Amino acid sequence: MPHVNFTRHLQTFFPTLKMGEEVPGASVREVIAELEKRYPGFALYVGDETGRLRRHVHVFVREEPICDRDELSDAVSQGDEVYILQALSGG
């Protein structure tokens, strides 16, 4: 299973997120769907109503940014490291 890591800021909204948590899924969309089951509201926090990633959210698989921000179809494999990052703005 892929291992998922997050920015600490996401733990502000989802305090029980576990760094390096194993999450089943063959695509980024499936991983986020599983995270939604475990942490209700997560999918809508990182994505919009259509399922696309929000502008301020970035996902990396194997240290590479995903290509498909709309359908989240990028593949993930056993043992992959997935990073879900939320950019902060403001001042």
Q: What is the pLDDT of residues 61-88, one digit of tens each?
A: 999 999 999 999 999 999 999 999 988 7
State the residue range of the domain holding 12: 3-86
> Is there a domain that residue 66 lies in?
yes
Residues 6 or more apart whose CB falls under 8 angstroms from that of 49 comprise none
Domain count, the chain: 1
Percentage above 70 pLDDT, the chain: 97
pLDDT band per the 50, 70, 90 thresholds, residue 89: low
Give pLDDT, residue 87.
Answer: 81
> Is there a domain that residue 26 lies in?
yes
Residue 74: CATH number of its domain: 3.10.20.30
> Is there a domain that residue 91 lies in?
no
